[in-house]
Amino acid sequence: MVTEKKDKVKSTGTDEPIKPGMPADEVLDIAGMVSYAEGSIVSRTLVENNAGTITLFAFDAGQGLSEHSTPFDALVQVLDGEGEFTVGGKVHCAITGRVLLMPANVPHAVRAGKRFKMLLTMLRSK
């Protein structure tokens, strides 16, 4: 997996420095904040605190995350394309504009048949 450097705005092609995380009080093009990379998964953490994390991902076709579980509820929002998510053995396809909640401690996996971008919000369980 590739993690984008936080000191460059790769999606706009500029060399303007950006602040770590996500700027407050600004309207942003969320899908444009992470770029595709051939043969890779690119991630960019926007927010990280005691409540959880918000991370952007861009999956190239054929890439994926193997089955794993986390102690967090995970809300996936597909921003571009279509992703395949296996949660507790059940396969779900989610397209642009759709969301999927993956419960804490339930095994899940992600696969990209085609390129896709997603926003992942991980929340600590009660």
Percent of the residues in the chain that have a pLDDT greater than 70, as a whole number: 83
Per CATH, the homologous superfamily of domain 2-124 is Jelly Rolls (2.60.120.10)
Q: State yes or no: pLDDT of 123 exceeds 50.
A: yes
Tell me, what's the pLDDT at 68? 96
Helix (H, G, I), strand (E, B) or coil at 30: helix
User: Would you kindly state where each structural domain of the chain is located, as residue ranges?
Assistant: 2-124
Tell me, what's the pLDDT at 11? 38
Q: What is the pLDDT of residues 51-81, one digit of tens each?
A: 899 999 999 999 999 999 999 999 999 999 9
Tell me, what's the pLDDT at 117? 98
Mean pLDDT of the chain: 86
Q: State yes or no: pLDDT of 48 exceeds 50.
A: yes
pTM over 0.85: no
What is the C-alpha separation between 73 and 75, in angstroms, rounded?
7
- Going by C-alpha positions, the residue among 81, 125, 118, 124 that lies closest to residue 100 is 118
Give the DSSP H/E element, type plus range, for residue 42.
strand 41-49
